[in-house]
Amino acid sequence: MAMALREAELAYEEDEVPVGAVVVFDNRIIGRGHNRTRQLHDASAHAEMIALSAAYNHFGDWRLENCTLFSTLEPCAMCSGAAVLSRIKTIVFGAKDPKFGACGSIFEIPTDQRLNHRIEIIGGVMADEIAALMRQFFAHVRKGKEQLN
């Protein structure tokens, strides 16, 4: 999770919402990413999606069986769905996302019995550090908006 947090810090430095993700196979990072939605003008450029894409390239396949996705923030419906389709074994996330979280907060996509693949979910890893980074970022954003008014 420390490497995912480092990715989140890179997003922060790029003025993106500070979310980072890594995909791990056999204790090696095979994909990494951080939010780039503003930079790329792409709503799908979430940290998890970028990390998953890098992992697909590593294997030359879309199946990521026996891989773990680490994300600093609870994945949304899009990212959770991509993880299910990729056959990710485990999702480990830090802070819960009460507005968009799809690993238990709003939806439970990775464990939905109606789907053909289910993912083990582990939440709350380094949640305090990650939540502090998120609060700091959004305080900075609010302060910037106040200065514009």
Q: Known catalytic residues?
A: 48
Distances (CA, A) of 19 to 75, 91, 109, 118, 133: 10, 15, 20, 23, 9
Q: Are 38 and 46 in contact (CB under 8 A)?
A: no
Spatial distance between the Cα atoms of 19 and 96, rounded to a whole number of angstroms: 12
Q: Looking at this protein, which amino acid is placed at residue 28?
A: R
**Cα angle 46, 52, 114; round to 5:** 90
The neighbour count for residue 12, using CB atoms within 10 Å, is 20
**Cα atoms found within 13 Å of the Cα of residue 37, Cβ hemisphere only:** 12
